[in-house]
Structures are given as structure tokens and as C-alpha cells.
């Protein structure tokens, strides 16, 4: 089921293009599932040269930010476009187009607990067949897309049991993945607002902000930006979302970007 307010973006393309001509667009994108299709394991995801060129061309006309759960180094290597914002680890790491790096501070007790818990989980879960682990910058992801039902159940039980004994960690769910993170009041939506505030002093015209994402981890951004941006959930089939609009797949995202390139 989809919220009644969520509309197909292409049905409103004409009016949005008219708004974009009057208000300089600012584009925010998730990476996996938005700019590149979901694949079996995260290491297989990449941008084709054609899609890199599309992003490189459009960033000459309007600012772009890639907002991902991947760590910053990995994200930059996979996107490979210079002169844009990169946001890694669900907002905890931000690099500006000029190369300035900002990291959200993690309390010492949360850091210590994170290192202790994830070290134990790594040893217990990594031998399980079909499980893929990403140990990112304060974000420990357990992917179970390739695991059978019993292995998935065992892996999730290990994660849930470990988290039940912690004070400073939280669990975040995504598409066939769970992520252990420090429990800090900061997420993708927080990072987007930080970037917009930073850019505000540079702009004479208020930007028309677009945020494209596909995962449960993007819902915080959709909710935070409600009434402040054109929020677009990339999804098929339809589901409940805080986004105002939807597109069916990655191809439709690039088709919409191409429309903006003609402004």
C-alpha cells in the first residue's frame, strides 16, 4: 500500500520543470537502488561510464549530493564524479565539493561499545553461508540477501541478542540488511539539512530541492524534508513511504535527470 499523497513523479514532470526553471534545482541521491540497481552483494555495485557522464554533465548546471550508507571512501570510488557532495555512513561523514571533510562526533562510550560488539559479531556471523558483512565507519552491516531462511534467522538472532545488551547502539533495517550503529541523533535527513544550510549563504535564489532514495534508510530524509523538498521514493512494487512522489526504477531516475539537463 502507498500513502495517498504519493504520486507518480512523471505525471507531474511539466509543473516541476516549470518550478525548476524559476528555482535552481539541488539534487540529492541515495546510491544503491537509486543511482545503481540493487545487486546480490554490495561489492558488485558500480556506475557505468555512461551514467557517470550524466551526473558529471548535470553537476555543471546544478549542485549534487550523493547520500549513502556506504563509507565515504567506498562511495567516492564507486561514483567517481568530482566536485559534488558525498555523504557516507548514513550522514556521519560529509565531504564538500571543495574536499573539506566533516565527521559527526561519536561519544567515546558509544565508540567503545561499537568496537566491542561488532568484533564479537564479526567472528560469529562471518562463517555463516550467504551472509555478507560490511564493517564501515561506525556502521556494521549484515547483508542476508543470499542466505537461506534458517541462516537468515540465525544471523538476525545473533545481531538482536547482541544489541539487547547495549546502551549506546541502535539497529537500522534496510533491504535485506541490518546495520549496527552508534545511537546518535543524526541521519541522512540531518545531513541534507546541514548541506542546505551551508549552501544557503551562497545562493541568491532559494533552491528547488529533490531527494531520491529507495530504502528504509531514506525514510528519515523523506520525513525531515516533507514540505521542504520534492521527495521521491524509487520503488516497485509500491509500499508505504514518507515520500511525496515515486518512480519505478533506476532508469526512470536517470530519465528525470536528463529532463533537468535541458533546463
Dig out the grid coordinates for 240 from the structure. 508505504
Dig out the grid coordinates for 36 from the structure. 545503481
Q: Which DSSP letter does residue 65 get?
A: E
d(Cα 39, Cα 37) in Å, to the nearest integer? 6
Single out the residue of 80, 79, 110 nearest to residue 92, CA to CA.
Answer: 110
Task: Give the largest CA-CA distance in the chain.
Answer: 57
Residue 215 known to be catalytic:
no
Q: Are 8 and 225 in contact (CB under 8 A)?
A: no
d(Cα 235, Cα 248) in Å, to the nearest integer? 5
d(Cα 35, Cα 210) in Å, to the nearest integer? 14
Q: Which of 30, 32, 214, 218 is catalytic?
A: 30
Active-site residue set: 30
Amino acid at each position: 500500500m502507498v500513502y495517498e499523497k504519493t504520486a507518480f513523479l512523471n505525471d507531474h514532470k511539466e509543473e516541476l520543470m516549470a518550478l525548476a526553471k524559476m528555482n535552481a534545482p539541488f539534487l540529492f541521491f541515495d546510491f544503491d537502488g537509486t543511482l545503481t540497481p540493487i545487486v546480490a552483494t554490495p561489492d558488485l555495485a558500480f556506475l557505468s561510464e555512461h551514467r557517470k557522464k550524466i551526473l558529471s554533465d548535470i553537476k555543471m548546471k546544478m549542485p549534487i549530493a550523493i547520500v549513502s550508507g556506504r563509507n565515504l571512501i567506498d562511495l567516492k570510488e564507486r561514483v567517481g564524479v568530482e566536485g559534488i557532495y558525498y555523504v557516507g555512513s548514513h550522514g556521519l561523514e560529509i565531504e564538500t565539493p571543495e574536499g573539506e571533510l566533516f565527521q559527526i562526533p561519536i561519544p567515546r562510550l558509544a565508540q567503545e561499545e561499537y568496537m566491542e560488539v561488532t568484533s564479537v559479531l564479526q567472528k560469529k556471523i562471518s562463517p555463516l553461508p550467504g551472509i555478507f558483512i560490511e564493517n564501515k565507519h561506525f556502521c556494521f552491516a549484515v547483508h542476508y540477501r543470499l542466505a537461506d531462511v534458517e541462516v537468515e534467522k540465525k544471523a538476525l538472532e545473533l545481531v538482536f541478542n547482541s544489541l539487547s545488551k547495549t546502551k549506546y547502539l541502535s539497529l537500522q533495517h534496510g533491504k535485506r540488511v541490518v546495520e549496527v550503529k552508534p545511537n546518535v541523533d543524526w541521519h541522512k535527513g540531518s545531513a541534507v539539512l546541514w548541506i542546505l544550510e551551508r549552501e544557503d549563504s551562497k545562493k541568491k535564489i532559494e533552491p528547488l530541492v529533490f531527494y531520491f532514495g529507495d530504502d528504509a534508510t531514506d525514510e528519515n530524509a523523506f520525513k525531515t524534508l516533507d514540505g521542504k523538498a520534492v521527495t521521491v521514493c524509487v520503488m516497485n512494487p509500491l509500499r508505504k513511504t514518507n515520500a511525496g512522489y515515486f518512480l519505478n526504477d533506476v532508469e526512470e531516475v536517470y530519465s528525470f535527470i536528463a529532463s533537468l539537463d535541458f533546463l
